[in-house]
Amino acid sequence: QKEVEQDPGPLSVPEGAIVSLNCTYSNSAFQYFMWYRQYSRKGPELLMYTYSSGNKEDGRFTAQVDKSSKYISLFIRDSQPSDSATYLCAMSAAETSGSRLTFGEGTQLTVNP
Amino acid sequence: NAGVTQTPKFRILKIGQSMTLQCTQDMNHNYMYWYRQDPGMGLKLIYYSVGAGITDKGEVPNGYNVSRSTTEDFPLRLELAAPSQTSVYFCASSYPDRGHPEQYFGPGTRLTVT
């Protein structure tokens, strides 16, 4: 069983839709949960991170972590064509940034005008 | 502040050839990483380094070597290239003492072995 499972997509939505991206994990030691966005032929860039359980909001983006269910989500409100990218979830078991990250396989999102 | 830079952007190798992928960061980060990304497969850690002179294997180290002589540079060496090493390679760095887990990625090197 993989440590991190992510819905592979691809996902295609109309502009303005609410998008839900999800990952599940099996390692109870994970404490830090991240979402990276990767545009085509570019390196991943950090979008959001959350420590332990709870919600975090940043503009149109909301990250949710449910440690009891080992489930994390990223919601995008009022999606825009510029949100079209691959979204990767990543998780870390240590509190310092030097710890290794375990990535999901990524979900490819297309937002159609 | 250029962040993480990688060279070359693209490379085609013949089977059995060798090459070095270069990675440099100007953020004074102690930790550096090499990943490979195959289509639909996420990111797999090849090697990482927690400081100059210290390196360790990641998930998929076979066929690769690294060195870390300075804080800024972390080159990845491919010896005897094989078609299975066709992939996109990303270098990343992070600063471990700030309590933030984020890693900063370079733009990638797209490698084809034929």
Among candidate residues B93, B87, B106, the one with its CA nearest the CA of residue A38: B106
Condensed to tens digits (0 to 9), the pLDDT of residues B21-65 reads 999 999 988 899 999 999 877 899 999 998 999 999 998 999 999
Q: Which residue has the tokens 């850690």?
A: B45
Judged by CB atoms closer than 8 Å, whether chains meet at B42 and A88 is answered as yes
Judged by CB atoms closer than 8 Å, whether chains meet at A98 and B31 is answered as yes
* A23 and chain B in contact, CB less than 8 A: no
Among candidate residues A25, A19, A21, the one with its CA nearest the CA of residue A35: A21
Among candidate residues A40, A110, A108, A39, the one with its CA nearest the CA of residue A81: A110
pLDDT at residue B6 above 70?
yes
Judged by CB atoms closer than 8 Å, whether chains meet at A43 and B106 is answered as yes
Phi/psi of residue A65, nearest 5 degrees = -130, 130
Chain A residues with CB-CB distance to B105 below 8 A: 43-45
Q: Is the dihedral of CA B50, B56, B61, B63 positive or negative?
A: positive
Chain A residues with CB-CB distance to B45 below 8 A: 100-101
Contact A87, A109 (CB under 8 A): yes
pLDDT of A97 reads: 44
* Contact partners, residue B94, CB within 8 Å, separation at least 6: A97, A98, B29, B30, B31, B33, B100, B101, B102, B103, B104
* A8 and chain B in contact, CB less than 8 A: yes
Which residue among B40, B58, B105 places its CB closest to the CB of A45?
B105
* B41 and chain A in contact, CB less than 8 A: yes
Give the span between the Cα atoms of B24 and A18, in whole angstroms: 38
Condensed to tens digits (0 to 9), the pLDDT of residues A7-21 reads 878 999 999 999 999
What is the DSSP secondary-structure string of A26-40?
--TT--EEEEEEE-T
Neighbours of B64 (CB within 10 A): 19
Q: Is the dihedral of CA A75, A77, A81, A83 positive or negative?
A: negative
pLDDT at residue B113 above 80?
yes
- Mean pLDDT across chain B, nearest whole number? 92
Give the model's confidence band at B99: pLDDT under 50 very low, under 70 low, under 90 confident, else very high: low
pLDDT at residue B79 above 50?
yes
Rounded to a whole number of angstroms, the distance from the CA of B42 to the nearest CA of chain A is: 4
pLDDT at residue A22 above 90?
yes
Give the model's confidence band at A69: pLDDT under 50 very low, under 70 low, under 90 confident, else very high: very high
Distances from the Cα of B53 to the Cαs of A83, B48, B68, B70, B77, in angstroms? 40, 11, 5, 8, 16
